[in-house]
Amino acid sequence: MPFLSHRLHSALSAVKPVIILVIVLFQAGVLSAQQTGQQQFNLLGLSVKGNESASAEVIRANSGLQIDEELTAEKIQKAIDRLWGLGLFSDIQILVDRQTPGGVYLVIQVEERPRLNEVMYRGNKKINDDKFDEELEFIPGQVISQEDIHNAAKKMKELYKEKNFLLAEITSTTVPVENRTNYVNVIFKINEGRKVKLWDITIHGNESFPERKLRGQMEHVKEERWWKFFQDSEYSPENLLEDETGIVEFYKGQGYRDAEVVRDSVYYNEERTRMFVDLWVEEGIRYRYAGFEWQGNTLFDREQLQHTLGLEPGDRYDYLAFQRGLENVRSLYMDRGYLYLNIAPHEIPVAKDSVKVRFDLQENYQVSVRKIDIVGNTKTKEDVIRRELRIFPGDVFSRERLMRSQREIFILNYFSNVVPDVVPVDEKQVDLEIEVEEKQTDRANASIGYSERDGLIGSVGLQFNNFLGNGQQITLNLQKSQYYQQFSAGFNEPWPWNRPNPVGFNLFYTERGQNRRYYYPFDLTQIGGSISVGHRFQWPDNYFRSNWTLYADRKHYSNIQDSTTYQNWNRTGANPTRGVRFTQTIRRDSRDRPEFPTQGSRVTLRSTLSGGPLGGNEDYHKHELQIEWYTPLFWRFVLYSDFEFGAMKGLESDVVIPYEEHFFMGGSGMTYGTALRGYQERSVGPTSSGYPIGGRSMLKYSLELRLKISDNPTVYGIGFVESGNTFADVVSLNPFDLKRSAGFGARLFMPMLGMLGFDIGYGLDSLQPGGEPSGWNTHFIFGQPF
């Protein structure tokens, strides 16, 4: 007995405190075993008691105890651990049922945890039951523990914190369910309290910068005021700590290397509706860099590294600029394949206000790319993606070329997200994984759109921008309104014969009726088509593209309401006219995204020669230049600026220059012509008898502040100022005679409709000498642009 009791007591002491192990052995059998020198006890039988939901067979099987095997303390301990790990029981006891000379019969006595019948909420007003159910993810019938209930209450408090109910109190009770054995209802009793507003942040110890400047560095915890309707005021200890780090980084960016937030305090008013935060800072002194040392560098010399770092001895200590410079140095190495470069900067104070920096570099091995995996492309074929890559298996790894590959895939506009990843293989090789997320690019619609010129327009069309995942573009459109109808069909192959030289064609038929409201002085029937071919250049850099297009069409004019306007562009009086023109378009496009670019630029130079050696009787040359810049500002704000210039001239004095080829300005610019919001469609520029006759030169400048609201679908708001005008000829172009406007608007990109949006612009100038400003005008973009 003493040996066996000690043995089993050891098993008891090894298990968790909440588990009770009791084995009572009959004295006679124990003494007999000791007297004979045999210390072996076999398990002759194993029964289960207390189970209601779990079957006895499952409990016996999970215990691991086997009949006729020797019973040891280790096996008993493992049996208890296994059963406890199931999470089904609140109490487990192993008892001796009876003992025989051949062994013992054991009973596993369990007490099952209750199962969940229903979750109820009491006292909640600011958060509804459905929101709690969604976040807590309780399932009726699941085993429920006090730990589960505690974690649920904790999560509910976090939900209230997100709404600034920081003092919400939540208690819980469990109530047995009648007629359902071992089932309980969980009831959460909620005292929401009053919403707590962060009323004031006070900063102590600041001498070099005003409190307002330091509070501006706090991005997460801000005072709440009625006029700050766009600003969140969410407090949490984590948010406060992050903002304290932001203050310290600001100080270090201004040269205060030793700055720190030494203490903070959070307290409430008596009504516990207002919160106050106090911070204490120690600024220290302002430092400068005394010098820089580089050790371990073999690939680049000191001058190259110092230039890349962007800091020089004598510069003010700047933690943020230092980190940016360090990343630039890493990028310099990674672009040469040294992915595992290790840079250890050591700051060594050399005077009271000076610090020297020593960089210890371990360049390691140059890394190459073993393979590239494309994942996530459920529609687009893999070769369509791979042909846009700028890095390939076997190449030396280059971060710049990997990021450029990401940009090229993004600019296809087939994917809502493109995420490159580097997967290490060994010290000399990596794999690349490029994960894409497909988005809807094809459109099949029968819809109603709106054009400022033509009013409501019915549209039936098919537009495949990534046909069968091959990257080909096919368009079939029929559009009709009271004064306008058009049919067009087109095809474009971006990589014929596996070369990046796109080819395509387009056929169209148009009928447009005259209408004074929409500034059209005659009826027009036009039929024609075009063929085009493009090319990608490597010089001056590989952002350049070119496209050459040959057009041919026939136009017939009737119901001419204004002969002066008609003769202005058709000096020969020919009707119908035939046009054959050749257009060269050279474009450099370095934008990072197609729908909402955040950086880069797009420069487009388009030149057209019509008639002359090409034939037809429309004889002119036309040139257009557009320059767009995208500059990231902060958060989700981007500054967009646009410059446009155009000029055209007849090949001879009396020639045909089609009406629609002239420069028109005003309105949304959905059709031919240039947008100038705040003015009616095509109302800016030379007129005749109330009709715009178009200009032969044009100048415009726009500036937009864009704020991205949503990533998928892309939604952004804009505020704009712009100015522009068209002129009778190039000699008349006057950069000081521009019509100005300002306003705001929004854009939404819908998969099946394209871009939807509106602009509300105020025309600041009059279109007539001595007249009133154009005033407010609303411009809609709905459905397909025509």
Residue-wise pLDDT tens digits, 130-141 = 899 888 889 888
Answer for the pair 385, 408: CB distance below 8 angstroms, yes or no: no
Residue 648, strand partner residues: 622
| Separation between Cα atoms, residue 535 and residue 66, nearest integer Å | 77
The span from the CA of 483 to the CA of 463, in Å, is 24
Instruction: Pick 368-438's CATH classification: 3.40.50.1100, 3.30.565.10, 3.10.20.310, 3.20.20.70.
Output: 3.10.20.310
Q: 567: which 2 tokens?
A: 């003769």
Per-residue pLDDT, 340: 94
Tell the residue number behind the tokens 């001796």, with chain if given.
96
What's residue 293's pLDDT?
A: 96
Fold of 197-282: Ubiquitin-like (UB roll) (3.10.20)
Per mean pLDDT, which of 65-79, 245-259, 267-281, 649-663 is the most reliable? 245-259
Query: What are the tokens at 124?
Result: 């909640």
Can you tell me which residue has the tokens 């730990």?
Answer: 147
Per-residue model confidence (pLDDT) at position 225? 58
Domains of the chain, by residue range, sit at 2-112, 115-191, 197-282, 288-362, 368-438, 532-781
Q: Strand 354-362 vs strand 739-750: parallel, antiparallel, or unpaired? A: unpaired
**The predicted structure's pLDDT at residue 445:** 52
Report the side by side order of strands in the sheet with 415-426: 368-375, 429-438, 415-426
Residue 123 has pLDDT above 70, yes or no: yes
The neighbouring-strand residues paired with 170 are 190
C-alpha torsion sign, points 76, 79, 85, 90: negative
For 692-710, how does the pLDDT look when each residue is reduced to its tens digit (9 = 90+)?
A: 888 999 999 999 999 999 8
Give me 514's structure tokens: 């005259």
| Measured distance CA(357)–CA(477) in Å, rounded | 65
Rounded to the nearest integer, the mean pLDDT of the chain is 85
Q: Which of 409, 305, 406 is nearest to 358 (CA)?
A: 305
Say what percent of the chain tops pLDDT 70.
87
469: its two tokens: 């995942």
Q: Which residues, at least 6 apart from 634, have a Cβ–Cβ distance to it below 8 Å?
A: none
Q: Per DSSP, which regions of 452-564 are E strands?
A: 455-467, 472-480, 484-493, 503-512, 523-536, 544-558
Task: Look at residue 517 and tell me whether its pLDDT is greater than 90.
Answer: no
In the prediction, which pLDDT does 238 show?
Answer: 84
- 256: Cα separation from own chain's centroid: 35
3-state secondary structure of 216: coil
Model confidence over 306-322: pLDDT tens digits? Answer: 999 999 999 999 999 99
Q: What is the DSSP letter of 666?
A: -
Can you identify the CATH homologous superfamily of domain 2-112? membrane protein fhac (3.10.20.310)
Which pLDDT tens digit goes with each residue over 221-252? 877 655 454 455 567 788 899 999 999 999 99
* Structure confidence at residue 426 (pLDDT): 93
Tell me whether residue 431 is exposed, middle or buried, using C-beta atoms within 10 angstroms of its C-beta: 0 to 12, 13 to 18, 19 or more. middle
Task: Report residue 16 as tokens.
Answer: 């968790």
The pLDDT value recorded for residue 735 is 95
Q: Which residues pair with 369 in a beta bridge?
A: 430
The band of 443, judged by pLDDT with boundaries at 50, 70 and 90, is low
125, burial (CB in 10 Å: exposed 0-12, middle 13-18, buried 19+): exposed
How far is residue 247 from each of residues 230, 238, 458, measured CA to CA in Å?
Answer: 22, 14, 57
Q: Is residue 726 classed as helix, strand or coil in its secondary structure?
A: strand
**DSSP 8-state symbol, 736:** T
Give dist(CA 135, CA 142) in Å, integer: 16
Candidates 707, 703, 680, 705; CA nearest to 692 is 680
CATH number of 532-781: 2.40.160.50
List the structure tokens of 737: 């005679």
Percent of the chain's residues with pLDDT above 90: 54
**Residue 33 to residue 322: CA distance in whole angstroms:** 78
CATH class of 115-191: alpha beta
Calculated CA dihedral for residues 718, 721, 725, 731, nearest 10 degrees: -120
- pLDDT of 178 reads 87
148-192 pLDDT per residue, tens: 899 999 999 988 887 878 888 999 999 998 888 888 999 999 998
Condensed to tens digits (0 to 9), the pLDDT of residues 524-571 reads 899 999 999 999 998 899 999 999 999 999 999 888 776 666 766 777
Among 331-345, 553-567, 636-650, the least confident range: 553-567
Q: Strand 169-176: give its sheet, edge to edge.
A: 115-122, 183-191, 169-176
CB 701 within 8 A of CB 637: no
d(CA 198, CA 233): 7
Q: What is the pLDDT of residue 407?
A: 95
- Per-residue pLDDT tens over the stretch 185-206: 999 999 988 888 888 899 999 9
Q: For residue 22, what pLDDT is reported?
A: 38
In this prediction the pTM is 0.68
Q: pLDDT band at residue 58, thresholds of 50, 70 and 90?
A: confident
CATH code for 288-362?
Answer: 3.10.20.310
Same fold, 197-282 and 532-781: no
CA distance 186 to 42: 44
User: Is residue 212 within a helix (H) or strand (E), and if so which, with residue range?
Assistant: helix 211-215
* Lookup result for tokens 């306008």: 484
The most confident of the ranges 216-230, 677-691, 728-742 is 728-742
Q: What is the pLDDT of residue 97?
A: 84
* Cα Rg of the chain, angstroms: 39
Specify the DSSP element, H or E, that contains 33: helix 27-36
